[in-house]
Amino acid sequence: MTVAAALVALQGVVVAGLGVTMLVLLLAGRHADDTVQAVTGAVTVLALAVLPLAAARGLWLRRRWSRGPAMIVQLMAVPAGWQMAQNGGVWLVLGTLVSLTALTVLGCVVNPTATEALGIGPREPRDA
């Protein structure tokens, strides 16, 4: 669970960093022709960073609800990483890292030890 929480938090920080970079470039005057579109893109990226950061916190605290959002982020990251890797060069390395990180997190959160730690799975019957 610690590995999954750390990797999901790292993903959230990277996405938030991208959003902040977009805003800084906008303020520095290095933006697209359409300022509204640039602001909307940056704000959207920052909003998207909330999901992995919240999921990471939930995984760290062993909250049952956190597994779903963590898995959703990873299921979106695998094809994104694949698509990045198709461009070759540095994108091949980055895309491979994104996909491998996502697959690692998926493996961690479906692991029987993790499901037990999150309180997911079959429960023992109670005595009546």
- What tens digit of pLDDT does each residue of 62-74 get? 999 999 999 999 9
In-domain check, residue 105 = yes
Q: Is residue 7 part of a domain?
A: yes
Q: Give the C-alpha separation, 122 to 33, whole Å.
A: 55
How large is the angle between the packed helices 2-27 and 90-110, nearest 10 degrees? 140
Examine residue 44 and state whether it is found in any structural domain, yes or no.
Answer: yes
With respect to residue 127, please indicate whether it lies within any of the assigned structural domains. Answer: no
Structural domain boundaries enclosing 36: 2-117
In this structure, is residue 42 part of a structural domain?
A: yes
**Residue 124 maps to a domain:** no
Task: Give Cβ neighbours of residue 8 (< 8 Å, ≥ 6 apart).
Answer: 52, 55, 56, 59, 70, 73, 105
- Are residues 1 and 31 in contact, defined by beta-carbon separation less than 8 angstroms? no
Asked if residues 56 and 12 have their Cβ atoms less than 8 Å apart, the reply is yes
Q: What pTM did the predictor assign?
A: 0.84
In a domain, 23, yes or no: yes
Q: Does 123 reside within a domain?
A: no
Number of domains in the chain: 1
Please report, rounded to a whole number, the percentage of residues in the chain having pLDDT higher than 70. 93
